[in-house]
Chains A and B, each alone.
Chain A
Amino acid sequence: MSASAEPQAAPRHSLPEGGPAHGPAAFLALLLGVLGSSMSRYIARRVGWGIFLLFVVSALTFLIFYVFPSADPAALRAGRQANPQLIAQIRHALGLDDPLYEQYWIYLKGIFLHFNLGYSYQNNVSVTSQILTRLPVTISLTVGAFVVWIAIGIPLGILSAIRRHSTVDRSTMGLALLAISAPVYWLGLIVLLLFADDIGKVHLLPGAGSYVPITHDPTQWFLSLLMPWFVLAASFAAIYARMVRGNLIEVMGEDYIRTARAKGLSERRVILRHGVRAAITPVVTLAGLDLGILLGGAVLTETVFNIPGIGRYAYDSIVNSDLPAIQGTVLFGAFFIIVMNIVVDVLYAFLDPRVRY
């Protein structure tokens, strides 16, 4: 932290007196200023690292698939009437008899030149198109769950912090512990057994496999996703409530909260504008990362509720030893995580002025 009396000079102060200049030269200077700012340099560096990381992820997935024992994709493809000749033929057609580095090189070329993640060993369908068709499904699930857990977790966390040791606090934290401990696949099955309109005790909501696109039937889309949203959101809401509570309790003991009270602000304003504002910054970071992870596919939730998203696709391709599909989903997931990481870091600089790159 700087102890200097002089604040860092903002770029705009370097403009000549008498207001901003005009003309192409000034525009160029401004453009260079933005491009040369520490923030854009930082972003460029992070993007570079992100691309490098994606290389590493793809190479590792490739290696793991070949090093660890898995079913022979050619044998799987050959089906029931398989004979060595057919398998060899398929192996050659899929390029599996090429050296490993050559296979990897072809794969990379496909991605960079044609945004082509390859074709499924299983049914020869383009992995890229499979993922892109499934992306809206995963986005529907993830973003909906995100809204639910933010809307539940943050207010409950605030309430628990300011009414510490009250009934609200104790019951929220008790429930939170339950929600964190309950695995999604277990919670999902319980909820289905209770509320699904086919197997449930109460026929309340459409159950597993009932997903339809929002463009097809918005009401059905909403109803079919209600249970998955809440099931996926449960543990996140619990974690966020605990985190907000902990942060806010700590912040409310800070000297600047005392200052805010001494200014004569209402307690509501002290809590929301001064307390929550400071307590929420780490939560935003976490939220961005969680969102990135889930956008790569909420595997368990999509599997339990049979939702045709990227997570379900990843699950199926692992079961089928379908390397191009596994590669594609892993890379896609890594891509979202890396992107959200960068987004979160940039956001952090806006949320906390003390952060400098």
Chain B
Amino acid sequence: MALLEIEDLRVRFQTRDGVVRAVEGVSLSLDRGRTLGIVGESGSGKSVTALTVMGLSRLPNATVEGRVLFDGLDLLALPLEELALYRGKRIGMIFQDPMSSLHPLYKVGWQIVEAIRAHEDVSKSAARRRARDALAEVGIPNPSERLDSYPHELSGGMRQRVMIAMALVLDPDVLIADEPTTALDVTVQVQILDLVRRLQAERGAAVLLITHDLGVVAETADEVAVMYAGRVVELGRMETILGAPEHPYTWGLIESLPRLGDARGARLHPIAGQPPSLIHVPSGCPFHPRCPHAFAVCPEVEPPLLPSGPGHVVACHLAPAARRRIGLALRSAATGGSVG
């Protein structure tokens, strides 16, 4: 059994406009030392999936079904007080916007010390020393002085480093990173990804990386789950998903990336249409209204997630042979270019 097993997760939010089906039957698993990337557009359910693991989607208007097994224990069944013992301690989390994710009125040292002392009975000075070491480890210069900095005194990249230091200071088994580089400059993005990779290699933690950026996935992930309309539509090893993808939505994601080889002024190829409303999800395969390969059965029947190769599953009605042909053609078109 894997360290983290998400089984048939369903998350719904009751809103004024109707029921939002944010996550519809997602199953994923993640092992120690591995990185699982979840990609998809906004509103694909990837962030809600990650937040639900931590119980952070437990809102009065939410219903959550399925299981999230951490070390064999169902986190969804835990009362909030017991779940708090896992949050931060066994599962750390970093978020998209480091500008708003740190409390603006407390010094960063105080915030890290608070995280330590929430779980371990150590003195303030001992916790402060550990906080300083954690800042040093994530590459923050003058860590002793930075402990007394307020978040607004740091740059975005430094703040994300503080978030990472805070998430990793208790040596969690799992790190959930929800769009950790989206709000940062490109050069800083690379540094932050390198940092996450290095810390993961040193500590053997499992990383759940949520992103809309295939480039980030290519750099970091061992496995990739592609989500659409709250469902996993394709799942496999990173090389497979980026090299021989078999789902039309994954093709669309890859084709919509700009490539280095493209002529200047060449048009990008975005996926036609808008992501579906999660209140009125299209019938059958939810991607069929935007899919250039859709045929008669697609609006009628939702395709099940079926194995297509070793460790590779796809939810698509197209014949496997046809899918492989198109996927490989896409790959040769991309030759010479970078997916990032």
Q: Are B149 and A265 in contact (CB under 8 A)?
A: no
Q: Are B118 and A274 in contact (CB under 8 A)?
A: no
Q: Are A1 and B152 in contact (CB under 8 A)?
A: yes
The contact of B88 among A1, A258, A264, A278, by CB within 8 Å, is A264
Contact size range, B? 35 or more
* Residues A264 and B155 in contact in the complex (CB < 8 Å), given A255-B97, A255-B100, A259-B95: no
- Cα–Cα distance between A166 and B85 once the two chains are bound (Å): 28
- Cα–Cα distance between A256 and B146 once the two chains are bound (Å): 19
Binary contact track B132-150/A, C-beta < 8 Å → 1, others 0: 0000000000000110011
Q: Are B152 and A353 in contact (CB under 8 A)?
A: yes
| Interface locus among B101-109, B206-214, B252-260, B313-321 | B101-109
Q: Are A256 and B103 in contact (CB under 8 A)?
A: yes
Cβ-based interface call for A85 (8 A): no
- Cα–Cα distance between A352 and B149 once the two chains are bound (Å): 13
Q: Are A8 and B88 in contact (CB under 8 A)?
A: no
The contact of B153 among A7, A260, A281, by CB within 8 Å, is A7
The contact of A278 among B81, B85, B104, B149, by CB within 8 Å, is B104
* Residues A263 and B166 in contact in the complex (CB < 8 Å), given A4-B155, A258-B95, A352-B105: yes
Cβ-based interface call for A5 (8 A): yes
Cβ-based interface call for B164 (8 A): no
Segment 244-271 of A: residues with Cβ below 8 Å from B: 254-256, 258-267, 269
By a CB distance below 8 angstroms, the chain B residues around A259 are 93, 95, 101-103, 163, 166
- Cα–Cα distance between A278 and B157 once the two chains are bound (Å): 24
Q: Are A354 and B80 in contact (CB under 8 A)?
A: no
CB-CB nearest in chain A for B158: A5
How distant is B59 from chain A, measured CB to nearest CB, in Å?
A: 10
Interface residue ranges, B against A (CB under 8 Å): 51, 54, 56, 80-81, 84-89, 92-93, 95, 97, 100-106, 114-115, 118-119, 145-146, 149-150, 152-158, 163, 166-167
* Residues A353 and B56 in contact in the complex (CB < 8 Å), given A265-B114, A267-B80: no
- Cα–Cα distance between A265 and B84 once the two chains are bound (Å): 6
By a CB distance below 8 angstroms, the chain A residues around B157 are 5
Q: What are 19 A-B interface contacts by the 8 Å CB criterion?
A: A3-B155, A5-B158, A7-B145, A255-B97, A258-B51, A258-B56, A259-B95, A259-B103, A259-B163, A260-B103, A261-B56, A261-B87, A262-B56, A264-B88, A266-B81, A269-B118, A274-B103, A351-B105, A352-B104
CB-CB nearest in chain B for A273: B114
- Cα–Cα distance between A277 and B103 once the two chains are bound (Å): 10
Interface residue ranges, A against B (CB under 8 Å): 1-5, 7-8, 254-256, 258-267, 269, 273-274, 277-278, 281, 351-354
Q: Are A263 and B87 in contact (CB under 8 A)?
A: yes
Q: Are A263 and B104 in contact (CB under 8 A)?
A: no
- Cα–Cα distance between A3 and B157 once the two chains are bound (Å): 10
How distant is B33 from chain A, measured CB to nearest CB, in Å?
A: 22
By a CB distance below 8 angstroms, the chain A residues around B119 are 264
How distant is B205 from chain A, measured CB to nearest CB, in Å?
A: 15
A263-B115, A274-B103, A353-B150 known, 10 other contacts, Cβ within 8 Å: A7-B150, A254-B100, A256-B101, A256-B102, A261-B54, A262-B92, A263-B88, A264-B85, A264-B119, A266-B84
Return the 6 tightest CB-CB contacts between A and B, nearest first.
A264-B88, A7-B153, A264-B87, A255-B100, A5-B155, A263-B88
Q: Are B118 and A263 in contact (CB under 8 A)?
A: yes
* Residues A8 and B166 in contact in the complex (CB < 8 Å), given A262-B54, A264-B88: no
- Cα–Cα distance between A3 and B54 once the two chains are bound (Å): 31
By a CB distance below 8 angstroms, the chain B residues around A3 are 155-156
By a CB distance below 8 angstroms, the chain A residues around B153 are 2, 7-8
Q: Are B104 and A264 in contact (CB under 8 A)?
A: no
By a CB distance below 8 angstroms, the chain B residues around A281 are 105
- Cα–Cα distance between A7 and B103 once the two chains are bound (Å): 17
CB-CB nearest in chain B for A274: B103
Q: Are B105 and A264 in contact (CB under 8 A)?
A: no
Q: Are A2 and B101 in contact (CB under 8 A)?
A: no
- Cα–Cα distance between A256 and B93 once the two chains are bound (Å): 12
- Cα–Cα distance between A274 and B101 once the two chains are bound (Å): 12
- Cα–Cα distance between A277 and B80 once the two chains are bound (Å): 22
How distant is B170 from chain A, measured CB to nearest CB, in Å?
A: 9
- Cα–Cα distance between A7 and B144 once the two chains are bound (Å): 13
- Cα–Cα distance between A261 and B59 once the two chains are bound (Å): 13
Q: Are B149 and A7 in contact (CB under 8 A)?
A: yes
By a CB distance below 8 angstroms, the chain A residues around B154 are 5, 7
- Cα–Cα distance between A267 and B84 once the two chains are bound (Å): 9
- Cα–Cα distance between A351 and B105 once the two chains are bound (Å): 8
Q: Are B105 and A277 in contact (CB under 8 A)?
A: yes
How distant is B231 from chain A, measured CB to nearest CB, in Å?
A: 25
- Cα–Cα distance between A259 and B56 once the two chains are bound (Å): 10
CB-CB nearest in chain B for A356: B152
By a CB distance below 8 angstroms, the chain A residues around B158 are 5
Most buried by B among A2, A263, A265, A266: A263
By a CB distance below 8 angstroms, the chain A residues around B152 are 1-2, 353-354
By a CB distance below 8 angstroms, the chain A residues around B102 are 256, 259
How distant is A51 from chain B, measured CB to nearest CB, in Å?
A: 33
Q: Are A278 and B115 in contact (CB under 8 A)?
A: no
By a CB distance below 8 angstroms, the chain A residues around B156 are 3
